[in-house]
Structure 1
Amino acid sequence: MFSGFAAPPKPLSNTEMLDLVREQILREAGVDFESRPVLAVYACYLPNPAAANYDTLLNFFFQRLNDFVENDYVVVLFAAGIQHQPGWSWLYKAYSHMGRKYRKNLKSLYVVHPSLWPRLIIQGMGAVVSPKFARKVHWVYNLDQLGASVPLNQLFIPDVIREVDAGTSKAKPSTLIDTPKEDNPDQLSKVFGAPLHDIMGANGEKGIPRVIADCIHYIRTDGLETEGIFRRSPSSKQLQHAKRAYNRDDEHFELQKSGDVHLACVLLKSFFRDLPEPVFSGAMYDVIRGIHACENENEQVKFIGNAVVPLLPVPTFQLVAAIFSLLHQVHLNSDKNLMTANNLTIVWSPNLVRSDNPVVDFSMGALGAQGGGAGTMIKLCIERYPDIFVQIEP
């Protein structure tokens, strides 16, 4: 005889739940247009509560989140395609677990394709969600709208989300997303997003761009002991104003009078993120992976200087030498600013390492033996800057 009841699902082990969180539910997604790390959360991958202990799942989720919350960060929640909706009590528990460090450094939460479920959650939690946190929530009704705030090419988009997006006939306006408008490109000399050979000359004869020189000077003068340097963000208005000034080559613009040192830090990261040709491109990945074949750190340092650095065009070499010189100084002051070479690598890798495959990029930039080698290389360029760059002529 056949029973009229379906067999209960097979319980997920802790290892399976950890893998589910790390590989499907919560993913790294590069940086946004202000060089802040982006994390993507996929509701469609939430497991059946009959098969998963959601309290354990929550613990794994926050363990994963701990890797990012020391920096300013952005979360994109894809709400479409959810099959198993968590209960209200669990959602309240999840919010209560979000201590100050999670809420403070979260700059924006974009809820994509919001159905009644996420809207009711946010509204129903109004009694416990602080007004300040609620202002960080933005409803996004299609992927085009999301693309105004987060680079879509860095995001993994499951088929179920694409199907929902295709069925969205009209974009609903969102008054909560404030995307600063750029000046007319024809009126700008353009520094951000321009090829390095245009700005610096084919052989670097025009020198380091003014924006880079200004930022480095500001940080060296006033920022080396600033706690959390390169982890914090200025206001979007400050950042856009400064970028427009440098794009116009405004001689009257003074960086040190226009914002704090965090503005200079984000301008630096934005400049590198916006480069049409990244510093360490996908074409270099096979060479960079060779660092894992080195037997010790000294061999790795020699490998970087002999195999990787010579691949850089002259303007790129001049630029990264200037940046790694600065990061080396920041690292030497880590007892005060708390930014070790490890921390600086985590913050800077997404701005330096880029190809047309974000998943591979994240792997390349990861630190340690599990990474693709670029993270190890960047960390050594910071720690061992004099051994890698000082003796090399471009």
Structure 2
Amino acid sequence: YKMNQENEYYDKEFVDPIDGFADDDLISPNDIKDCDPGKVSPLAPVKSFLERDNFESELGSPSDEIYNAEFDEISKLNIVDIIAEGDRAGRPIICIYAFRLPSTKTFNHEVFLQFIQHILDKYVELDYSLIYFHYGLRSNNKPPIKTLIKAFNTFDRRYKKNLKVLAVIHPTRFIKFLWKIFQPFISIKFERKMHYMNSLNELDDIVPVSKLNLPQPIIDYDNSLSSNTKSISSFILPENGVPLPTAQFNVSLDYILSHNPESELPPIVVELVTFLRCYGLKTQGIFRLSGEVNRINRLQQRINMGEKIDFLSDERYKDNINLAIIDASALLKVFLRSLGEPIITNALYPQLISSLDVPKYERKEGVKSFIKLLPEKNLILLKYIIEFLLDVTNNEHDNKMDANNLSVIFGPNLTWPTNQQVPISQLNSLNNFCYILISEYEYIFSNN
């Protein structure tokens, strides 16, 4: 288990749990036979995201609705979950649950590999985190070693370079076995991204566990481990502490505005947008990168204490404007997700999805009608954010971020279901919603 605190690391060996895994030997003779080192090969480096001419297509267009029919069936199994902007640095989280993998006799792992690629392609050019929950992997649902080797060779540098955290939760001997296969081909830099965690207690240091809406079997298994020192209920239950009047993160929009009656907008949003509009509009890949977790957490704490961050004179940023731009853009994304209830509100989420489930030519009018349903304070904030994103797209020649790119980043942060998890089948709808807001800004917000 590796924790990153600034640039310092420490290691902790994972321990084999004493439970039902012990009588289910995942390492078969066929696995050993398939572990020919010649089958795992390092891949040639590829051009970076901003160096390629077709980087927009790699991020995925909200209007691109090509979707393998078999993916729908896989999606229903909920093996993969997306938690947009869920970790402590505002990075999207991709969760994979081994216990939901069906029997290998009925499940096509080749298609599942394509499905994961389809998901990752929406986020691969952003900083992101990946969490693999190993609990529930048995001999009858374990992917063949050949498939894992193919996956290793398929997910090239493009998928690995922006992966900031790869966490394996509840690892067993099988993970050690796999590590021996792949370790010779893994760089030291990538190895530092890997975290082995024996409990959800450890995971909470990197990702707010309460945001993951974890399946009950994972929670039950974690609670059953004798090594667990903290009940998962402490993550799931809301904190009892009363926020300060100056708090602007992890409080509601109503709370912020009630303590800032002179403003129609949260002061921190105005400060961040003003700074980014002045200094960040030409920054390549703005909003694509995320800040370092501890640094973003400290900024939130300072702001909640009532401190105003001056990125131009602050000791950490005064000689590094690019770092200031990265952290300011990360804070804006974190703010939207920390509201608890999204700008679009939980109550209106079903209506939003319905308004987008229409022929493409009807969606623009549907979105215009939909935003009239928003409370006034929410509409004012939404319009302010989208107006700024439009300014970002107007500098696309320099920053390489168009409406497609921005909608992938901001779509899941403007709205999400009550349980904080967006069904994979609805992700494209949320991206479409944000894309229409940006690309049709004048029409959507006229008379609103």
TM-score with structure 2 length normalisation?
A: 0.70
Is the 1:18–1:57 contact (alpha carbons within 8 Å) kept by the matching residues of 2?
no
**Letter in structure 1 aligned against 2:131:** V
- Distance in 2 (CA, whole Å) between partners of 1:225 and 1:322 is 19
Higher relative contact order (CA 8 A, sep 6+): 2
State the SS of the aligned residue for 1:118: helix
Partner residue, 1:5: none
State the SS of the aligned residue for 2:341: coil
Which of 351, 356, 372 in structure 2 is aligned with 1:309?
Answer: 372
**2:383 is the alignment partner of 1:321:** yes
Which of 181, 185, 197 in structure 2 is aligned with 1:140?
Answer: 197
Which of 334, 342, 356 in structure 2 is aligned with 1:278?
Answer: 342
- Distance in 2 (CA, whole Å) between partners of 1:36 and 1:321 is 24
- Distance in 2 (CA, whole Å) between partners of 1:22 and 1:228 is 33
State the SS of the aligned residue for 2:265: coil
**2:106 is the alignment partner of 1:43:** no
Partner residue, 1:64: 119
Partner residue, 1:98: 155
Pair 1:27–1:233, CA change in 2 (3 A): same
Q: Encode CA deviations 1:58-81: one digit per residue, 9 max, x unaligned.
A: 344334322221111111101111
Partner residue, 1:387: 443
Is the 1:25–1:41 contact (alpha carbons within 8 Å) kept by the matching residues of 2?
yes
State the SS of the aligned residue for 1:231: coil
Partner residue, 1:4: none
**Letter in structure 2 aligned against 1:81:** G
**2:176 is the alignment partner of 1:122:** no
Q: Encode CA deviations 1:16-57: one digit per residue, 9 max, x unaligned.
A: 588437844433233323221111122334455566665565
**2:135 is the alignment partner of 1:80:** yes
Shift of 1:381: 1.3
Shift of 1:98: 2.6
- Distance in 1 (CA, whole Å) between partners of 2:301 and 2:357 is 45
Is the 1:214–1:255 contact (alpha carbons within 8 Å) kept by the matching residues of 2?
no
Partner residue, 1:27: 81
Q: Encode CA deviations 1:268-303: one digit per residue, 9 max, x unaligned.
A: 111111113321122112432452477765x64444
**2:272 is the alignment partner of 1:215:** yes
Is the 1:272–1:278 contact (alpha carbons within 8 Å) kept by the matching residues of 2?
yes
Is the 1:190–1:248 contact (alpha carbons within 8 Å) kept by the matching residues of 2?
yes
Shift of 1:132: 1.0
- Distance in 2 (CA, whole Å) between partners of 1:92 and 1:303 is 46
State the SS of the aligned residue for 2:168: strand
Shift of 1:151: 4.0
- Distance in 1 (CA, whole Å) between partners of 2:357 and 2:100 is 37
State the SS of the aligned residue for 1:249: coil
Pair 1:19–1:67, CA change in 2 (3 A): farther
Pair 1:170–1:15, CA change in 2 (3 A): same
Shift of 1:383: 1.3
**2:319 is the alignment partner of 1:263:** no
Q: Which region of structure 1 is more displaced relative to structure 2, 278-287 or 203-212?
A: 203-212
Report 1:159-198 matches (<5 A): 160-171=217-228, 189-198=246-255
State the SS of the aligned residue for 1:80: coil
State the SS of the aligned residue for 1:107: strand
Is the 1:197–1:204 contact (alpha carbons within 8 Å) kept by the matching residues of 2?
no
- Distance in 2 (CA, whole Å) between partners of 1:59 and 1:360 is 20
State the SS of the aligned residue for 2:347: helix
- Distance in 1 (CA, whole Å) between partners of 2:178 and 2:360 is 52
Shift of 1:233: 0.8
- Distance in 1 (CA, whole Å) between partners of 2:388 and 2:100 is 42
State the SS of the aligned residue for 1:68: coil
- Distance in 1 (CA, whole Å) between partners of 2:174 and 2:253 is 47
Pair 1:23–1:382, CA change in 2 (3 A): farther
Is the 2:122–2:408 contact (alpha carbons within 8 Å) kept by the matching residues of 1?
no
Pair 1:388–1:88, CA change in 2 (3 A): closer
Is the 1:229–1:262 contact (alpha carbons within 8 Å) kept by the matching residues of 2?
yes
- Distance in 2 (CA, whole Å) between partners of 1:187 and 1:156 is 27
- Distance in 2 (CA, whole Å) between partners of 1:383 and 1:342 is 9
Unaligned stretches of 5+ residues in structure 1: 1-13, 174-183
State the identity as a percent.
27
Pair 1:75–1:293, CA change in 2 (3 A): closer
Partner residue, 1:353: 415
Partner residue, 1:201: 258
- Distance in 2 (CA, whole Å) between partners of 1:304 and 1:172 is 48
Q: Encode CA deviations 1:321-343: one digit per residue, 9 max, x unaligned.
A: 21111111112333433322222
**Letter in structure 1 aligned against 2:382:** V
Shift of 1:108: 0.3
